Structure formats: C-alpha cells, structure tokens
C-alpha cells in the first residue's frame, strides 16, 4: 500500500508539469481512491485474482492495455508480473524503476550509513528516462475533503491521527507506550485511531473506549471515507507504514516512528522534514537498519522503537502541530 501511495505526489507533479499527457495507472481496484482527483489520470484495474491471473491473464491484460493506445510505459514496481508485461509490450518504450538494491544491501549490512535516494525520486527518475523530467520541490496538495460522516461533520480544535500498527513487529512502537502517548495527547487534541483488520480494530476500539476524545475508525469506515478523514488531520503519527504515506500524499504533517528500519533507505513519507522521523537509538541498537522492510532483525531488536520515549514523541508533536 505504501508504495502505491508514494506514487501519488509524483503523479500530481507530473500532471501539473505536463497537462497534455494522459496517464493510465494500472493497479488493484482497492487503490482507485488514491487517484480520483488527479487531472488527466485514469485507473485501469488489474484483476490479478480473476481474468488477469497467471501468464495467460497477463497476456490478456497486455492486449487490453494496448487497445488504449498507450505509447510509453513507466514501470514503478519492477517485479515478476511487470517484467512479464514488459516482454509483451514489444515495440513500446518501457522504463523500469531502479530500486537501488545494491545501495540498500550496503545500508543493511553496515557498509554505509547515509541517506539513499528517496523512492519518490526514483519514481521521478523513471519519468525523466521517458523524456519527462519531474520537479518534486514545489508540491501542491488537494484541499481537505468535505466531511459528512457521522461524528466528523463539524471539526473543532486540532485533530491528530494515530496509526500504531505496521506489517512487522520490529516496525511497531510498543502498544503500552503508545497508550501513554494517546492518553497525553487526548488531553489537548482529538485523537483519531487508524488500523486495518479485525484484530487491530478490536484493540483500537478497546483503547478508544477509555477516552472521551479518542475515536476509532478501524472497521468503521470505507477506504475512501478513511482517506477523507485523514485529509482533515492536522497531524498523523504513524510507523514506517502505509498510513504515513496516505497522510503525506494529502499534505498532512507526518511524524513517523522507526524501529528496525530507517528513513535512510528512502521510504520516509513525502515532503516531511528530516526531524519528523523519530528513529531508534543507534547506540543501543547499532545494527539498525536490520532490513529494508522490517521483516528481519536479531533477537531483542523487535523493541528497538521503545528506545524512543513517549515524552519525546509528545514533545515533537506539540512542537510541530
């Protein structure tokens, strides 16, 4: 999800700088709301569990795409499926993203410890190779969505979103510490909790029941409604996860908490100052980053983010909101 959300600010910049170029985004249907308000961008849904499944399905998909009159292909994913599609687009210029695997391997191994090219810039580089240099330095964002959802109609005061979950334990802030953060922030702000899946929804509902000023959205809203609420936040607190990118793509301030991963790998949310990323104590956890995606880490590193105190998080939020 995060990778898809990171394409949004790049596409906004592209369509603003090249308003006569029509863009078709090939993605899963679930992600369609990401692109609904970008001029000259349409979404073609890949049915990867149905008619576009397997090699024969990809052949059908290529035929359907060619019928649209596509003249160039920007592969921002560079995985097995897109490599197969590339071979089916003979005669069409295809440029694939350079994911920087060598540099990222060096970062994880400890051979280097420095900022790598951001994923957003890697996306922009693909368009440049197609003949369309994209300047990401002066982004524009859509206005917050109008809210008519029950409980969100009339905004008053500051709203802080908190998305405490991530795909892997090593990327998550310990829940007991996060509860301390929520309790303190709820004294001065409305706190809105975000998550996905039944288990996460139950946990967040249990937390929200303890506070008058805390609302759980997990399991309560449709995806486009969730995006609309996020667009109205004054700040999002998230892990190295998709929620951080969904907020950033809408111009929301994002404070991120990093455990076994690190923003040097290039996955920090778009247009956020470096000091908005709160990273694990490198003196205590010198092997960070232990992996790019947070799925690999030595014993004891699953709690690396606990080296960031609740007070540090609270003070940072109050300083920037």
Task: Return the CA Rg of the chain.
Answer: 20
Write out the H or E segment, with its range, that includes residue 128: helix 119-129
Give per-residue pLDDT as tens, 178-201: 999 999 999 999 999 999 888 999
User: Would you say residue 320 has pLDDT above 90?
Assistant: yes
Q: Can you point out the beta strands (E) in the chain?
A: 23-27, 41-45, 72-75, 93-96, 159-163, 190-193, 214-216, 235-239, 254-258, 277-279
pLDDT for 197 equals 85
Q: Which residues contact 226 (CB under 8 A, 6 or more apart)?
A: 194, 217
Give me the percent of the chain exceeding a pLDDT of 90.
96
Q: From the centroid of its chain, how far is CA 277?
A: 14
pLDDT for 117 equals 99
Q: What is the mean pLDDT of the chain?
A: 97
Q: From the centroid of its chain, how far is CA 153?
A: 26
CA distance 213 to 224: 23
User: Would you say residue 77 has pLDDT above 90?
Assistant: yes
CA distances, 182 to each of 164, 316, 317 (Å): 10, 14, 12
Q: Is the dihedral of CA 204, 1, 240, 160 positive or negative?
A: negative
Give per-residue pLDDT as tens, 242-255: 999 999 999 999 99
79-104 average pLDDT score: 96
pLDDT for 196 equals 85
Number of Cα atoms under 13 Å in the Cβ half of residue 76: 22
21 three-class SS: coil
Q: Which residues contact 17 (CB under 8 A, 6 or more apart)?
A: 132, 134, 135
User: Would you say residue 59 has pLDDT above 90?
Assistant: yes
CA distance 164 to 197: 13
Place of tokens 């506070």: 211
Give per-residue pLDDT as tens, 112-147: 999 999 999 999 999 999 999 999 999 999 999 999
pLDDT for 158 equals 98
User: Would you say residue 241 has pLDDT above 90?
Assistant: yes
pLDDT-derived band at 104 (thresholds 50, 70, 90) equals: very high
pLDDT-derived band at 232 (thresholds 50, 70, 90) equals: very high
pLDDT for 154 equals 85
pTM, rounded to two decimals: 0.96
Number of Cα atoms under 13 Å in the Cβ half of residue 90: 3
DSSP 249-277: TTT--EEEEESSS-GGGTTSPTT--GGGE
Structure-block tokens of residue 42: 């349409």
- Other C-beta atoms within 10 Å of 117: how many? 15
Q: From the centroid of its chain, how far is CA 234?
A: 17
225-254 average pLDDT score: 98
Structural domains present in the chain = 2-129 (3.40.50.2000), 159-320 (3.40.50.2000)
């Amino acid at each position: 999800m995060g990778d898809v959300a990171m394409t949004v600010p790049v596409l906004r910049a592209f369509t603003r700088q090249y308003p006569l170029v029509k863009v078709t985004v090939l993605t899963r249907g679930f992600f369609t709301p990401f692109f609904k308000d970008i001029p000259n961008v349409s979404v073609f849904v890949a049915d990867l569990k149905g008619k576009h499944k397997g090699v024969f399905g990809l052949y059908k998909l290529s035929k359907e795409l060619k019928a649209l009159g596509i003249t160039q292909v920007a592969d921002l994913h560079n995985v097995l499926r897109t490599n197969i599609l590339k071979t089916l687009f003979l005669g069409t210029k295809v440029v694939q993203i350079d994911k920087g695997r060598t540099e990222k391997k060096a970062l994880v191994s400890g051979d280097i410890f420095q900022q790598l090219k951001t994923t957003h810039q890697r996306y922009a580089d693909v368009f440049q190779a197609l003949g369309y240099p994209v300047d990401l330095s002066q982004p524009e964002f859509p206005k917050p969505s109008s809210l008519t959802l029950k409980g969100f109609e009339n905004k008053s005061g500051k709203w802080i979103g908190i998305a405490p979950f991530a795909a892997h334990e090593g990327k998550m802030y310990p829940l007991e510490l996060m509860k301390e953060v929520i309790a303190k922030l709820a004294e001065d702000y409305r706190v809105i909790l975000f998550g996905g899946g039944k288990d996460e929804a139950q946990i967040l509902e249990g937390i929200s029941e303890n506070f008058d000023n805390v609302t759980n959205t997990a399991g309560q809203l449709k995806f486009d409604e969730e995006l609309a609420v996020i667009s109205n936040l004054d700040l999002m607190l998230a892990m190295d996860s998709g929620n951080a990118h969904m907020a950033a793509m809408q111009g929301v301030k994002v404070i991120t908490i990093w455990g076994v991963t690190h923003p040097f790998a290039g996955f920090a949310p778009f247009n956020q100052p470096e000091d908005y990323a709160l990273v694990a104590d490198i003196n205590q956890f010198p092997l960070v980053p232990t992996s790019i995606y947070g799925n690999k880490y030595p014993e004891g590193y699953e709690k690396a983010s606990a080296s960031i105190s609740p007070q540090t998080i609270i003070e940072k939020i109050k300083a920037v909101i």
